[in-house]
Amino acid sequence: MILAYILLGIGMVFQTLGSLALHRFPDVYTRLHGATKCTTFGSIFIYLGVIVYAISFEDSLGIQLAIHTIVAMILILITNPTGAHAIARAAHKSGVMPKFAVVDRLKEERR
């Protein structure tokens, strides 16, 4: 049970760091990077905490909750990076340039 609380706490810290990344970083690309990485990682820890908590009940409802949480974790692992990539690509196509870009491979591909 203590392990579940530790995992939930770690997840909350990463979620908070993701929120700070949205507020502090200078452009859309770094904000997306910071927020997506932190919230994905934080969500994994929160889901793991829920799985540990659910398995501790050792009944069918706990197992069912653990399975549903695993499915949700897999979906988050797929959709978070995919959504961030789509947003970054749309920002680039609309002309929003990164502040600190050294190499722009998308611009090079258009030539």
Q: Is residue 22 part of a domain?
A: yes
With CA atoms as reference, report the closest residue to 33 among 47, 17, 45: 17
Domain count, the chain: 1
Q: Is residue 10 part of a domain?
A: yes
Q: Is residue 110 part of a domain?
A: no
Q: Is residue 88 part of a domain?
A: yes
Range of the domain at 39: 2-95
Q: How far is CA 18 from the centre of its chain?
A: 8
Rounded to whole angstroms, the Cα distance separating 60 from 22 reads: 40
| In contact, 46 and 7? CB cutoff 8 Å | yes
Would you state the pLDDT for residue 17?
A: 92
Would you state the pLDDT for residue 109?
A: 65
Q: Is residue 103 part of a domain?
A: no
Q: Is residue 89 part of a domain?
A: yes
Would you state the pLDDT for residue 13?
A: 95
pTM of the model: 0.83
With CA atoms as reference, report the closest residue to 76 among 18, 31, 30, 22: 18
Per-10-residue mean pLDDT of the chain, 111 residues long, equals 95 94 89 90 96 91 94 95 92 82 66 57
Q: Is residue 83 part of a domain?
A: yes
Q: Is residue 38 part of a domain?
A: yes
Rounded to whole angstroms, the Cα distance separating 103 from 43 reads: 31
Would you state the pLDDT for residue 85?
A: 92
